[in-house]
Amino acid sequence: MESSIVVVLYLTLFQAMNTVLPTLAKVYTVGESIGWAIGADYSTWASDKTFHVGDKLVFNYGAGHTVDEVKENDYKSCTTGNSLTTDSSGTTTIILKTAGTHYFICAAPAHCMGGMQLAVTVKAAKKAASPTPAPAPAPSKAKDSSSDTKGTPKASTTPGTAPTRSTTTTPTKSDNSKGDSSMAPSLFSPTFALVLIVSWISYYIMLPMV
């Protein structure tokens, strides 16, 4: 019973890991090899991508550029000075924390007009499908002792007649060992002891003469 519960727990944990791992955040490098630069078409770059909350945007650019997150109106008009966030470190990582459309521009003069603007639509984070619990092992059913006796017919007795008891006789084994031992001389008889003593004395007398 306990081993079955352990197996069920391991299977449930394994299934939960398989459903959670695919929902890990993705990292997108803006513009790929071009990076964040004038002349790129970032609308085309973002068109075939699906962004979710938790994903990251990485901007790689050289000196003289910035990454500014702005409101929609400032994005459309390339207006600077009202940025929500700004960075000019050369490598900017933006974590998409909320669903909706996020707007980014370069605040350097005329750079936004030159194509350095990006709008991404962010969807809510993927919800991991709740793992289907494995069926619990069926409890073992104890044998019903009463069911065993139901099919056993009861012996019928005639009133006034005492049931007869069968008697068995155990055959007695004939002890043949006594007859066999009586035929052979006893190992500890006086005659055998005398012969043994004489043999030893003769041996020790003859030993010096050899």
- Provide the domain count of the chain: 1
pLDDT tens for 28-73 read: 999 999 999 999 999 999 999 999 999 999 999 999 999 999 999 9
d(CA 26, CA 53) in angstroms, rounded, equals 10
What was the pLDDT predicted at 83?
96
Domain that holds residue 80: 27-123
CATH number at residue 44: 2.60.40.420
Residue 97 lies in a domain: yes
**pTM across the whole model:** 0.53
Residue 161 lies in a domain: no
**Within the chain, which residues score under 70 in pLDDT?**
1-23, 127-190, 203-210
Residue 73 lies in a domain: yes
Residue 114 lies in a domain: yes
Residue 168 lies in a domain: no
Residue 131 lies in a domain: no
- CA atoms within 13 A of residue 182's CA, in its CB half-sphere: 5
d(CA 202, CA 1) in angstroms, rounded, equals 81
Residue 46 lies in a domain: yes
